[in-house]
Structure 1
């Protein structure tokens, strides 16, 4: 009987669907987050999405033909030899190249937009009982050869070098490649950026012709990225945090310029630092991309400028917070993992809010750090629930529950002059918010309420709960949501802003923040389904969700008319603390 090893057909079908659904302009930013505007257009002009690839393991040619037929693919058999993949497998599994019968097929696929693309199928023949079974099992598990590919439209060496540089600039890392004499084509492999939003972790640039001169530099960089070196870079991550924190603490960014370089001796005098030591710090920060060095000295990059106190969207407070109290408590991460106790509380003897409240300087820094990630809020004012409320003939009110210093509410009121606002917060935070919103000219349109979650006012049209629920365990989240549900009129909307864990396990800041919340706050990040369950317990329903910058998500919630009182499995308690919002 002809058989294929389990899983190959379903994997191939998934690849076919992916090729049909994607296009160049959509896929490139998913693989290279941050790529947009002119660079995206330039990249899309010089390369086009051509195929998705995977490695399958048929027992023989007849099994391969059957698999293709099951997936609606047509290709000429036998496959052509695949030099690059065969050599990669040989190195990875320490086998002789001659032992590996690897072929390549490129059946055509018509995409949803009418474009003609391919699925690139690498086939390693694994006869029944073969000792190659172990290779097949490992490759299915790790998916080393699965990738998406772009064909270079203009195979010019200068263009090719520019494409490779752009990929590197947006986080893609060299991951091998080779020249295939059978088809006279050169392949450049990259590891996708760590923040990539697709399941494929490898990217290929395919260039017709022999470009082994450019390939040599690409391969040299790949060889430099060995596991031990990578691990050393990861282990020195604490140095990065402290370098950025020291840079910020000394106010060096405020003494630098983004256009003009400055001499280290001059800079050291201005910030009261030792010149040689400051030079060492600046060179390290140059490696990180926060500083650039030229003939005139060091200057700030766009990244480093975010650490200036006067920068729009300044992240200076986060550098001081993450390099200060939270840096100290992260040393207790092992204690948290072992015992379940919050490391911050174990180190300082109290929760983070009580600790910060004892020191006005820390309390102010904490509130500032909450606003420092405000780029996440950029699209929130255009949410349909807010635009609909702003269009209401009789006017409408937005209630920001635990609204911090008013950063988000201020953005909403600025975008919608017909809306009014209510901000509920702790007394000292309310005063900071009042000052901020009055300075922005919104004071007459906003009421300020000092209180706790039990004081959520009724009668609003849109309620906002931003970066609050991740501070709490599930039971307290239910209590907070029940207070909100009781206040919500039937027509009102609730917008919950959080970092939501990706359902597919892809790289996300939410995963990092989940660790942070566990170690330092005692809270957690959650999947969308988890939030939906918490909403349901409070008599609410998740309507939809939309992505925000910095891996944020806005969850649109309304009252659930079919389940207005929740599931009733737990008796509501009282949460009387707005303090635990955490950056």
Structure 2
């Protein structure tokens, strides 16, 4: 009994601390990575963090009372039956629900801001010799019933549909639910996305009242996500890539609005498409949250779909055309890369992708624009301490962006720090495009390659360059930079970092892409540290950036110029 008591007490104490510290605005982005801005504000307005829950296993009521008291929790009412958790346990362990005595207690805990919250304690009574000890052991190890919950104060059908759609859009997967007649409340469970930063893997939306019509839709989606259905969704991923590619090709997003729905027929006329087939495409994209169908055949643009507009500053249209065009073709030969280790793009097109794109001005422009489409990764970079310190230099400082594309990153740095000067090193045709973007009075241009890195810079930038190449070429590139750098110069690398464990990461996906299409690879921080060391540089540290990027800071190992 002592072991059970201490284990449940420790888990309950940790839950209480979590409830006190969190609120909706801080917790939702942890559970749904990528959620920010207007959608985060909309969710905070429509659902509030209500409680965190866990399942404990007292042998009798007195033991449960002792656990609660030891954690400073008090309740006035006896436990209420838990229909939803009892049914879940029965299914999971193959037991009759009637054999499982599961109750709910909801002691109130004040949040850090003073607002009342609860710790939801599910208690499965496990009398000695009852045969339920194995269930308790498994549940303690797996934490299947631990979750965080958000209450929906005004749960009309439109709000519930919108909340469910938003959770789905950010990777939360329906995970069952139920209606509890004892308290007239409806529960919608979700599995948190694999990329969630919170320890809790399950999310509850609690809606007071009877909403079994919405629950039926939610449970139907949950049943669809069983293994066979999940595999079908994975196998049809190529359809999504091409649907987005066609949506971008036809410039459908440019003919739509986020605030007003338009008839599919009018859209078809505007983009020169077949009305019936365009409607089917739009309904497919509506399932993905790219557009919203407000009524039969009437669609408006969702915020994610607006990213595929051509003229917007944050447009990702070029990426859709690149991933659904040349890289889509070369990914069809992924088996060649896996079998041989050779680059599938070269196998399909007969040349390295840089050479292939350079021979086609339209493709070259598309590639450069697609690289700039991830500009959100750069947003915090101008505030990096190295650049801020360079900007404070009394006689000004120079930032050298090596292979800096069309100048997107360098332009951001110069805009934030008017005292800095810039140098862009790029291929001749790219330099000409960059001249149109960058201030010629504050920025010089070097038409060349990595061997032409100029000396005299105070800060050198290599943004998403090294992942294009194998280790030997990376050492060569870093060597050119090291030779150009003075003893006091700094080098900033922007790359995605592979995780050191099996945790999900965009870098893992890009590692496959780089090997198939480019001939490069993603790397861990330690791997980059070794490459830097081989080139006479030392990794000082690294910090996260948006879109799972990182900025790595390096300096010369040898303080004397070489």
Q: How many residues align?
A: 550
What secondary structure does 2:437 align onto? helix
Shift of 1:422: 0.9
Q: Greater CA deviation, 35-44 or 319-328?
A: 35-44
**Equivalent residue number for residue 477 of structure 2:** 480
Given that 1:356 and 1:366 are in contact with CA atoms closer than 8 Å, whether structure 2 keeps it comes out as: yes
Q: 1:387 and 1:64, CA in 2 relative to 1: closer, same or farther beyond 3 A?
A: same
Distance 1:370 1:34 in 2: 20
Distance 2:319 2:478 in 1: 28
**Equivalent residue number for residue 419 of structure 1:** 420
Given that 2:105 and 2:121 are in contact with CA atoms closer than 8 Å, whether structure 1 keeps it comes out as: yes
Q: 1:510 and 1:21, CA in 2 relative to 1: closer, same or farther beyond 3 A?
A: farther
Shift of 1:179: 4.4
**Equivalent residue number for residue 577 of structure 1:** none
Q: 1:506 and 1:6, CA in 2 relative to 1: closer, same or farther beyond 3 A?
A: farther
Q: Greater CA deviation, 124-133 or 168-177?
A: 124-133
Q: 1:476 and 1:7, CA in 2 relative to 1: closer, same or farther beyond 3 A?
A: farther
**Equivalent residue number for residue 458 of structure 1:** 455
The residue correspondences of 1:230-245 to structure 2 (distance < 5 A) are 230-245=230-245
**Equivalent residue number for residue 323 of structure 2:** 322
Shift of 1:400: 0.9
The residue correspondences of 1:291-440 to structure 2 (distance < 5 A) are 291-292=291-292, 298=299, 300-437=301-438
Shift of 1:368: 1.7
Shift of 1:395: 0.9
Given that 1:400 and 1:465 are in contact with CA atoms closer than 8 Å, whether structure 2 keeps it comes out as: yes
**Equivalent residue number for residue 187 of structure 2:** 187
What secondary structure does 1:436 align onto? coil
Distance 1:347 1:5 in 2: 64
The residue correspondences of 1:187-336 to structure 2 (distance < 5 A) are 187-193=187-193, 196-206=196-206, 211=209, 213-225=210-222, 226=224, 227=226, 228-255=228-255, 267-268=267-268, 271-292=271-292, 298=299, 300-336=301-337
Distance 2:559 2:531 in 1: 13
Distance 2:13 2:525 in 1: 27
Q: 1:93 and 1:341, CA in 2 relative to 1: closer, same or farther beyond 3 A?
A: farther
Given that 1:197 and 1:507 are in contact with CA atoms closer than 8 Å, whether structure 2 keeps it comes out as: no
**Equivalent residue number for residue 542 of structure 1:** 540
**Equivalent residue number for residue 570 of structure 1:** none
State the Cα RMSD in Å.
Answer: 4.1
Shift of 1:252: 3.9
Distance 1:202 1:240 in 2: 27
* TM-score computed with the length of structure 2 as normaliser: 0.81
Q: 162, 165, 169: which one pairs with 1:165?
A: 162
**Equivalent residue number for residue 27 of structure 2:** 27
Structure 1 unpaired stretches of 5+: 566-583
What secondary structure does 1:444 align onto? coil
Shift of 1:245: 1.3
Q: 1:141 and 1:354, CA in 2 relative to 1: closer, same or farther beyond 3 A?
A: farther
Q: 1:133 and 1:336, CA in 2 relative to 1: closer, same or farther beyond 3 A?
A: farther
Distance 2:533 2:20 in 1: 36
Q: 1:128 and 1:286, CA in 2 relative to 1: closer, same or farther beyond 3 A?
A: same
Q: 1:319 and 1:83, CA in 2 relative to 1: closer, same or farther beyond 3 A?
A: same
Deviation readout 1:120-154 (Å, 9 max, x if unpaired): 454556789987677567656654323222345x4
**Equivalent residue number for residue 468 of structure 1:** 465
Structure 2 unpaired stretches of 5+: none
The residue correspondences of 1:513-524 to structure 2 (distance < 5 A) are 513-524=510-521
